[in-house]
Structure 1
């Protein structure tokens, strides 16, 4: 059973945010997107606990607090550490991948160059998490 998700999207590039939202819209996914421009803004949103996201999708390369620093803060919080965090980035640096998994991410997805590949990746990602038993608990 697919569940509607609350997704915290942490991305500093406005074009990437528009692209992500356009993909969800084109696939007729009715998920709530909460947007943060960087890790610092995302921490403030999470601390308010107004809407706790089901999943977090974030870029690594951001100003103020980058993705790896954000993950360290997230996974160090007893309340927030169980929220699945998925990296969506252009970095295929093996050191970044290993560091993120060491911290405890739920997935690492490269932003492909072709738009159709991006759509396919986002579709599979969202379908998986909207059908995941962890989210329905």
Structure 2
């Protein structure tokens, strides 16, 4: 199992800490990069400006409620880009709205997960992500 690079697109500092810690404890992530708004996410993925030396992530964890450009718009742009659409995108959201869930799947999210409420649940979530996205499925090689 090759360690993977994860892009976390999240604006809530508490969630950033919990998710990042859980990913590190999960012991399958080489690198966690964090961006805090939708425009920054697209700049990161396009390797613009300060992100020119970044590698393409193997997996994206994307919140819906983001400043500047929301997660729905970021997802649409990722999946419309022939060089990015192969990257699995996991939506992590506090929303349980059927409209949000349907919209994410309509725009080709790979899965929609409600954010856990406590640190222990984040560890279980990351364990599930590790088992499925790192051990079970085969991810495409990044160009």
What is the TM-score with the length of structure 2 in the denominator? 0.87
Q: Distance in 2 between matches of 1:11 and 1:54?
A: 17
Instruction: Give the aligned partner of residue 134 of structure 1.
Output: 139
Give the paired residue count.
136
Residue 3 of structure 1 contacts residue 136 of structure 1 at CA under 8 Å; is this kept in 2?
no
Deviations 1:81-105 (A, max 9, x none): 1111000111010110011001001
Indicate the SS of the match to 1:73. helix
Q: Distance in 1 between matches of 2:65 and 2:141?
A: 31
Q: Distance in 2 between matches of 1:75 and 1:25?
A: 27
Cα root mean square deviation, aligned: 1.6
Q: Which of the numbers 103, 107, 111 marks the counterpart of 1:99?
A: 103
Q: Distance in 1 between matches of 2:104 and 2:95?
A: 12
Deviations 1:103-129 (A, max 9, x none): 001111111223322211121112311
Q: Distance in 1 between matches of 2:131 and 2:141?
A: 13
Unpaired segments ≥5 residues, structure 2: none
Instruction: Give the aligned partner of residue 75 of structure 1.
Output: 79
Instruction: Give the aligned partner of residue 34 of structure 2.
Output: 35
What is the TM-score with the length of structure 1 in the denominator? 0.91
